[in-house]
């Protein structure tokens, strides 16, 4: 099997000593016909990996910004099957940028794991991050994902014990998503020093790239985190731009590019 | 075939009840749950902790609660004898306080100065605010905005007790959304906050822990049945929202194969209409919400369904994972009672026995009435009278065209 797009991308970044810029947007927000265009816009602004949120009725780990994005997307009927179609459509013109689906277990569970992994692979999905599926609960379905070349991305948090961190590092693929703070998405304060301290022991446990999300708002925070991590994940800062422009979606690609462009510049400086 | 004695050895170390239960949470909460599990397991068999718990149940809650023979109602129905396990007589008026006392003691032992809770009918919120007042803990309660409206009296009660009540405007604005918001609070404030979950749902160890704290109901009922009836009852009946009052009554009888058990879910407008809150009765597919796998009402794409019930406390799309297993192995049967029958039972018990039940509880009564009518007068049914109805007077008055 050829190397997964995620691994390829991180290998290339490493060769260039560059940091990964990973935007998150919720699929179907503000309406489904815009999502593929937004994905391309993110790539044009320098995104390395795309995290595409699967809307869910009960996004327990998300703050108000992404909750509302889910509500807007669901109001227009965006479901997991539609999100897979969006990825397939994105792949018609972009065969290289890795795409990770991020969301909650229940939509996948309802579709059925077998159907999901097959359709995700066909659509061109590279990795899956189910927020409420820690490796212990995912053990049963992990082989199925592996068989279809879908990488399982896991979260690590400031509260993760070293014993758990070892387990997560052992099961993780693609990259590890380090949650920078105790809280939900969209929370404000990120402490770069604390993040640096917490990433250090993880480096001893794994060779996987360590990417940091939650609290990355602008070029400045991105650059600061980029000095200690292999990549930065930016969600609520983008989704707020989408929300502000929900009534004139034609303005959104430029708004996304402005935020991401600043971050790209700051990371590469 | 599962032997019923095996059912007492669950959950397994990972919190699974067969295919159900588990710990489906975002990583930030894993540590808090591991800690909670450790504290709970160390205190569960600790004689001093148990003694403190029992003392509080006796002197603060007022246990044991009576097992009352509803003779007049039984005679009117003309079938089996109906006995009421009077959890409505507990301090704060419902079974919820048993669990709340237990978890608040754990909060204190864990050195957490702040407690949070979700609530539907407000009974669990009131019970939490009450024990928080007594222990001097800061208390914040999440309640769906629709329920804040339906249960005004309890909202004010909580505020009088010193709790802050946050109306939750997201999603369907009921119990499930309150639980989402409480979980969000917990991940943010995990260092100083203890989350007191009000039913046998949530991630491991909550379903097992809440079951253990509420099982005092069934232990008493079993002894009282032997003393007052002279034998075990033929059947137990309890309403099922998340399932804590039902598990509390059923669990100590689980190996008594001759005792039938029936859990009564909220039928709303009728299970066939789709407007209900009866995941077990309607055979909802299994799904994952709020940290565990269970029967979960969701649409074909996995979005959690809105539920419908006259009672805020049963208005929940999932159900405790242990009930899911009990359904599958056939230990307990699950049925639904519709809003109409529930209101009729509410009025009937009030008029005939002078006991005004909570609307949640009236679901159990509505079904007990149907069962009793088909049984002989020398047979016995124990119904968990899980709470009193004062909080529902508003709702019932409104149906009578009255406003206060
Ligand atoms: C009196 C009463 N009974 C029953 C319930 C339902 O909860 P459970 O199914 O956990 O017993 C509630 C919940 O608010 C309640 O207040």
Quickly state the pLDDT bin for A1 (edges 50, 70, 90): very low
The answer to whether residues B138 and B162 touch, using CB atoms and an 8 Å cutoff, is no
Alpha helices in B61-174 (DSSP H): 71-77, 96-109, 123-135, 145-150, 152-160
CA–CA dist A163, A177 (Å, integer): 17
Catalytic status, residue B96 = yes
Instruction: Output the 3-class SS for A33-76.
Output: HHHHHHHHHHHHCCCCCEEEECCCCCCCCCCHHHHHHHHHHHHC
Q: Read off the pLDDT of residues B311-340 as tens digits, 9 standing for 90 and up.
A: 989 999 999 999 999 999 999 999 999 999
Which candidate from A63, A107, A161 shows the least CB-CB separation from B31? A161
Q: What is the mean pLDDT of residues B349-369?
A: 98
Residues of chain B with pLDDT > 70, as a percent, come to 100
Question: CA-based angle B342:B343:B346, to the nearest 5?
Answer: 90
Which candidate from A109, A155, A158 shows the least CB-CB separation from B26? A155
Look at A74 and B32 and tell me if their CB atoms are within 8 Å: no
pLDDT at residue B4 greater than cutoff 90: no
The answer to whether residues B117 and B196 touch, using CB atoms and an 8 Å cutoff, is yes
Joined together, the tokens standing for residue B35 give: 């800690």
Gap from CA of B103 to ligand 1 centroid (Å): 17
Which candidate from A58, A134, A164 shows the least CB-CB separation from B176? A58
CA–CA dist B124, B119 (Å, integer): 6
Atom index in ligand 1 nearest the CA of residue B247 equals 11
Residue of B nearest to A62 (CA): B184
| Residue A72, helix vs strand vs coil | helix
Across chain A, the runs of DSSP E, i.e. the strands, are: 20-26, 50-53, 99-103, 127-130, 151-152, 154-156, 176-179, 210-213, 231-234
Confirm whether pTM is higher than 0.95.
yes
Minimum distance, in Å, between the CA of residue A4 and any CA atom of chain B: 25
- pLDDT of amino acid B2: 63
A166 touches chain B (CB under 8 A): no
Q: What is the mean pLDDT of residues B341-360?
A: 98
Q: What is the mean pLDDT of residues A85-112?
A: 98
Gap from CA of B210 to ligand 1 centroid (Å): 13
Which candidate from A134, A183, A187 shows the least CB-CB separation from B23? A134
- pLDDT of amino acid A162: 93
Q: Which of A59, A106, A178, A210 to mutate to test the interface with B (most CBs of B within 10 A)?
A: A106
CA–CA dist B84, B245 (Å, integer): 13
DSSP string over B113-138: -EEEEEESSSHHHHHHHHHHHHHT-E
- Within 8 A by CB and 6+ apart from B122, the residues are B143, B147, B151, B153, B154, B155, B157, B158, B312, B391
- pLDDT of amino acid B3: 74
Closest CA to B348 of B66, B87, B121, B77: B77
Q: Which of A159, A166, A169, A210 to mutate to test the interface with B (most CBs of B within 10 A)?
A: A159
Q: What is the ipTM of this complex?
A: 0.96
pLDDT at residue B347 greater than cutoff 80: yes
Look at A67 and B170 and tell me if their CB atoms are within 8 Å: yes
pLDDT at residue B154 greater than cutoff 70: yes
Higher-confidence residue: B177 or B152?
A: B177
CA–CA dist A177, A135 (Å, integer): 13
Gap from CA of A106 to ligand 1 centroid (Å): 25
Q: Distance from CA of residue A254 to its chain's centroid?
A: 20
CA–CA dist B166, B401 (Å, integer): 29
The answer to whether residues A219 and A263 touch, using CB atoms and an 8 Å cutoff, is yes
All residues of chain B having their beta carbon less than 8 Å from the beta carbon of residue A182 are 28, 187-191
| Residue A47, helix vs strand vs coil | coil
Gap from CA of B95 to ligand 1 centroid (Å): 8
Q: Is B44 exposed, middle or buried (0-12, 13-18, 19+ CB in 10 A)?
A: middle
| Residue from B84, B86, B199, B207 whose mutation best tests the ligand 1 pocket (most atoms within 8 A of CB) | B199
Joined together, the tokens standing for residue A34 give: 């815009």
Strand B235-239 to B138-144 pairing: unpaired
CA–CA dist B165, B142 (Å, integer): 6
- pLDDT of amino acid B5: 76
Closest CA to B262 of B374, B125, B150, B181: B374
Q: What is the largest CA-CA distance in chain B?
A: 57
Q: Read off the pLDDT of residues B259-298 as tens digits, 9 standing for 90 and up.
A: 999 999 999 999 999 999 999 999 999 999 999 999 999 9
The answer to whether residues A63 and A15 touch, using CB atoms and an 8 Å cutoff, is no
Task: Write down the catalytic residue from A7, A29, A48, A51.
Answer: A51
- Which H or E element spans position A92? none
The answer to whether residues B275 and B269 touch, using CB atoms and an 8 Å cutoff, is yes
Which candidate from A132, A154, A160 shows the least CB-CB separation from B25? A132
Rounded to the nearest 10°, the torsion over CA B179, B185, B187, B192 is: -120
Q: How many CA atoms lie within 13 A of B396 on its CB side?
A: 19
- pLDDT of amino acid A2: 62
Catalytic status, residue B386 = yes
Number of H helices, E strands in chain A: 13, 9
Look at A57 and B171 and tell me if their CB atoms are within 8 Å: yes
Q: Read off the pLDDT of residues B182-195 as tens digits, 9 standing for 90 and up.
A: 999 999 999 999 99
Q: Is A58 exposed, middle or buried (0-12, 13-18, 19+ CB in 10 A)?
A: buried
Radius of gyration of chain A (CA): 17
Alpha helices in B192-243 (DSSP H): 206-214, 216-228
Q: Is B333 exposed, middle or buried (0-12, 13-18, 19+ CB in 10 A)?
A: middle
- pLDDT of amino acid B149: 87
Look at B27 and A110 and tell me if their CB atoms are within 8 Å: no
CA–CA dist A26, A83 (Å, integer): 10
Atom index in ligand 1 nearest the CA of residue B124 equals 14
Question: CA-based angle B164:B213:B3, to the nearest 5?
Answer: 140
Residue of B nearest to A59 (CA): B180
Give the number of beta-carbon pairs within 8 Å between A and B. Answer: 123
Pocket of ligand 1 (CB under 6 A): B 94, 96, 120-121, 123-124, 199, 239-245, 313-314, 358, 360-361, 386-387
- pLDDT of amino acid B1: 52
Joined together, the tokens standing for residue B318 give: 């999932």
Instruction: For tokens 């590279």, name the residue.
Output: A126
The answer to whether residues A215 and A202 touch, using CB atoms and an 8 Å cutoff, is no
Residues of chain A with pLDDT > 90, as a percent, come to 93
Q: How many CA atoms lie within 13 A of B11 on its CB side?
A: 33
Look at A159 and B24 and tell me if their CB atoms are within 8 Å: no
The answer to whether residues B97 and B216 touch, using CB atoms and an 8 Å cutoff, is no
Q: What is the mean pLDDT of residues A85-95?
A: 98
Task: Write down the catalytic residue from B65, B85, B96, B298.
Answer: B96
Gap from CA of B158 to ligand 1 centroid (Å): 17
Quickly state the pLDDT bin for A185 (edges 50, 70, 90): confident
Instruction: For tokens 């991305």, name the residue.
Output: A153
CA–CA dist B105, A119 (Å, integer): 49
Sign of CA dihedral A39, A42, A47, A53: negative
Look at B31 and A168 and tell me if their CB atoms are within 8 Å: no
Residues of chain B with pLDDT > 90, as a percent, come to 93
Q: Is B391 exposed, middle or buried (0-12, 13-18, 19+ CB in 10 A)?
A: buried
Radius of gyration of chain B (CA): 19
Determine if the peptide bond prior to A229 is cis (ω within 30°): no
Q: Which of B22-26, B150-154, B282-286 has the lowest mean pLDDT?
A: B150-154
Atom index in ligand 1 nearest the CA of residue B357 equals 1
- pLDDT of amino acid A186: 83
Rounded to the nearest integer, the mean pLDDT of chain A is 96
The answer to whether residues A212 and A231 touch, using CB atoms and an 8 Å cutoff, is yes
């Amino acid at each position: 099997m050829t190397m997964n797009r995620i691994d390829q991308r991180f290998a290339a970044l490493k060769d260039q000593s560059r940091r990964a810029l990973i935007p998150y947007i919720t699929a179907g927000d503000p309406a489904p016909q815009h999502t593929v265009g937004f994905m391309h816009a993110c790539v044009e602004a320098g995104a390395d990996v795309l995290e595409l949120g699967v809307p869910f009725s009960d996004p327990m780990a998300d703050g108000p910004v992404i909750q509302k994005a889910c509500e807007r997307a669901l109001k227009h009927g965006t479901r997991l099957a539609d999100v897979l179609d969006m990825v397939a459509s994105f792949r018609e013109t972009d065969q290289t940028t890795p795409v990770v689906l991020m969301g909650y277990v229940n939509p996948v569970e309802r579709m059925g794991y077998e159907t999901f992994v097959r359709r995700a692979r066909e659509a061109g999905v590279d990795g899956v991050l189910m927020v409420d599926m820690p490796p212990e609960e995912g053990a049963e379905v992990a082989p199925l994902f592996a068989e279809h070349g879908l990488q399982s991305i896991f979260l690590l948090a400031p509260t993760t014990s070293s014993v758990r961190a070892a387990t997560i590092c052992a099961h993780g693929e693609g990259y590890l998503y380090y949650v920078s703070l105790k809280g939900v998405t969209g929370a404000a304060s990120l402490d770069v020093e604390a993040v640096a301290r917490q990433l250090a022991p993880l480096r001893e446990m794994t060779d996987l790239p360590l990417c940091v999300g939650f609290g990355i708002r602008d070029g400045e925070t991105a650059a600061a985190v980029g000095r200690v991590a292999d990549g930065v994940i930016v969600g609520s800062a983008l989704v707020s731009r989408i929300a502000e422009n929900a009534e004139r979606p034609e303005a959104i690609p430029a708004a996304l590019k402005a935020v991401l462009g600043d971050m790209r510049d700051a990371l590469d400086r | 075939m599962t032997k019923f004695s095996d059912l007492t050895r669950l959950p397994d170390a990972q919190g699974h009840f067969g295919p159900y239960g588990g710990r489906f949470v975002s990583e930030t909460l894993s540590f808090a749950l591991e800690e909670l599990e450790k504290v709970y397991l160390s205190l569960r068999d600790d004689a001093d902790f148990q003694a403190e718990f029992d003392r509080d149940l006796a002197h603060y809650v007022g246990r044991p609660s009576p097992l009352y023979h509803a003779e007049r109602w039984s005679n009117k129905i003309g079938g089996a004898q109906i006995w009421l396990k009077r959890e409505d007589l507990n301090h704060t008026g419902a079974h919820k306080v048993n669990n709340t006392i237990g978890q608040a003691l754990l909060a204190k032992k864990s050195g957490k100065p702040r407690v949070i809770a979700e609530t539907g009918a407000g009974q669990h919120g009131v019970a939490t605010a009450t024990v928080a007042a007594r222990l001097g803990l800061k208390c914040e309660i999440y309640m769906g905005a629709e329920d804040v409206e339906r249960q005004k009296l309890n909202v004010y009660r909580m505020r009088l007790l010193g709790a802050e009540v946050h109306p939750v405007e997201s999603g369907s604005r009921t119990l499930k959304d309150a639980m989402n918001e409480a979980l969000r609070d917990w991940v943010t404030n995990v260092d100083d906050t203890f989350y007191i979950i009000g039913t046998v749902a949530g991630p491991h160890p909550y379903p097992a822990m809440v079951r253990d704290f509420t099982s005092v109901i069934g232990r008493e009922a079993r002894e009282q049945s032997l003393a007052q009836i002279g034998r075990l009852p033929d059947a137990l009946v309890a309403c099922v929202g998340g399932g804590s009052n039902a598990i509390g009554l059923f669990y100590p009888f689980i190996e008594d194969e001759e005792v039938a058990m029936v859990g009564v879910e909220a039928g709303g407008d009728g299970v066939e209409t789709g407007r209900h809150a009866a995941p077990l009765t309607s055979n909802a597919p299994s799904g994952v919400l709020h940290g565990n796998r269970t029967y979960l009402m969701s649409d074909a794409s996995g979005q959690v369904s809105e539920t419908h019930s006259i009672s805020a406390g049963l208005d929940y799309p999932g159900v405790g994972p242990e009930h899911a297993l009990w359904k599958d192995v056939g230990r307990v049967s699950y049925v639904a009672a519709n809003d109409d029958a529930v209101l009729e039972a509410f009025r009937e018990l009030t008029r005939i026995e002078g006991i005004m039940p909570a609307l949640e509880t009236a679901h159990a009564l509505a079904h007990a009435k149907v069962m009793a009518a088909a049984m002989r007068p020398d047979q016995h049914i124990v119904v968990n009278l899980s709470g009193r109805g004062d909080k529902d007077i508003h709702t019932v008055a409104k149906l009578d065209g009255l406003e206060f």
